Structure 1
Amino acid sequence: MRLVIARCSVDYAGRLTAHLPLAPRLILVKADGSVSVHADDRAYKPLNWMSPPCTVKESEEDTGPVWTVQNKAGEKLIITMEEILHDSSHELGSDPGLIKDGVEAHLQELLADRMETLGDGWTLIRREYPTAIGPVDILCRDEAGATVAVEIKRRGEIDGVEQLTRYLDLLNRDPHLAPVKGVFAAQEIKPQARVLASDRGIGCVTLDYDSLRGIEDDKLRLF
């Protein structure tokens, strides 16, 4: 990543035109080829930018350095610098990505280790049970021995119910598993998703992350 702080003006020429008058600004050139111009406000949002793929041509004019950033569509971002206050490059390497506490994979792992929280006698068949349209989070059996497919989300919305419905349709075609019931489990379930799940005969479970980790009461609420 290259960071340049400069007194500059910026002109955009493309589907429309825009002009930023002379002022101190931060210019970011990322490894993916993107170029963005920032002021010292607006949080993360740039004043202007060019998404990759694009090329940066640097030239020296009488007024100072000029960058011409152009994308494949022919749009241009012209940055005219009167004074460069800082110019540095840094190798950040590959980013591991954001790791959230309580993501679906961790909830799945915790619930699979504590199947009794869904009910006495519930047993795990397999996590990430493979199907032709993707893996089912948890496949298990209830106290009566019936097969149950569990879909886990942090926030339960209609899309999650639709996803579980597709899994159930496919799993119920397998004579070794059918009949297969469904349970939609999430830390928070939207009312519309709960209504749709109930209409399709799918049970809903509200997951308490702290309880699953053994921090508080270890019971789930089954509705």
Structure 2
Amino acid sequence: MKVHFLHKPDIKNLENFIKKHASDSIIILLSRCSVIYDGRAKSTLNEGDRVVMIKPDGSLLIHKNKKREPVNWQPPGSSIFYKVENKNFIIKSIRKKPREVLEIIAHKIYHACAFRCEDYEELNLTGSEEEMADMIFKNPKLIEEGFSPLSKEYQIPTGIIDILGKDKNNNWVILELKRRRADLQSVSQLKRYVEYFKNKYGEKRVRGILVAPSLTTGALNLLKSENLEFKKINPPKKDQTLSKKLSKKYNTINKTAILDEWL
């Protein structure tokens, strides 16, 4: 089974539960706890209801009922230890360099869940706008036949042009690159650059092309009204394999242990 849980567990059952699942599963605790942090600074979080998430790579996050970011956290590579003290369940995360210690005193556990999350095999990352520019320089035909890229990040008074080039008719071509869906602001950027070049070289000698995977309806309408162009190009993709060896390495380095006393 991928998911195991305990509802309102006593401390002994919780201790055995974590010992069994923490090495290969994400542990999620719904708890009433307080938190003490000692590292780059010192802080204390008084008792309250929080979500505690502990991952096999040593990551630890504490979330409150508001905001996107955790209120406390420790990065991958931290070592996690547990013990029972004064009828409370204590979780301690230690990061060696720089040394940071995060201690959670769980006064009450409402629910404990272990989720064996096995998505570490492959991670597909979409390329950056800089990588889009590199891709176009290597293969200018992606824009059109006869396009010649001349410069990347070309500085002008109104901003920085992603790619400046010329077409087969020797017209200036200004490319504005967006790795995600382009919007009105993207068109406005391109318009500023094109207007500067038109003032300098003449109305008929300058073209502006917005390069992106897609664009909003408003952006398309503004492009047409400004006599600008659109070229659909997806950013390059990178395949990164996070192997099982890496997962095993994390589990070896960041041993999760139940201790009677801290090391």
- 1:140 equivalent in alignment to 2:136: no
Q: How big is the shift at 1:150?
A: 11
CA distance, structure 2, for counterparts of residue 93 and residue 197 of structure 1: 52
Amino acid in structure 2 at the alignment position of 1:73: P
Residues 40-189 of structure 1 aligned to structure 2 (within 5 Å): 40-42=65-67, 44-71=68-95, 72-94=97-119, 128-129=135-136, 131=138, 138-141=142-145, 146-149=146-149, 158=159, 161-162=161-162, 164-165=163-164, 168=165, 182-185=173-176, 187=182, 188-189=186-187
CA shift digits 1:160-217 (9 cap, x unpaired): x24x24xx5xx9xxxxx9x795341563234488338844976323577478xxxx9x
2:55 corresponds in structure 1 to 30
Contact 2:74-2:93 at 8 Å conserved across structures: yes
Aligned partner of residue 144 in structure 2, secondary structure: strand
Task: Flag the structure with more relative contact order, 1 or 2, with Cα contacts below 8 A and sequence separation at least 6.
Answer: 2
Tell me, which stretches of 5 or more residues in structure 2 are unaligned? 1-25, 152-157, 230-263
Aligned 8 A contact 2:194 2:208 in 1: no
1:68 touches 1:76 (CA, 8 Å); kept in 2?
Answer: yes
User: What secondary structure does 1:33 align onto?
Assistant: coil
1:81 CA displacement? 0.9
Quick one: distance in 2 between partners of 1:26 and 1:18?
18
The alignment-based identity, stated in percent, is 17
Give the letter aligned to residue 63 of structure 1: K
Displacement of 1:34 in angstroms is 1.5
* 1:7 match: secondary structure: strand
Please report the TM-score for the alignment, with normalisation by the length of structure 1. 0.57
The alignment's C-alpha RMSD in Å is 4.5
**1:222 aligned residue (203, 228, 247):** 228
Aligned residues: 172
Structure showing the higher helix proportion among its residues: 2
Alpha-carbon separation, structure 1, partners of 2:56 and 2:196: 48
Q: Deviations over 1:62-107 (max 9, x none)?
A: 231111111131111100111111111112332777999xx999xx
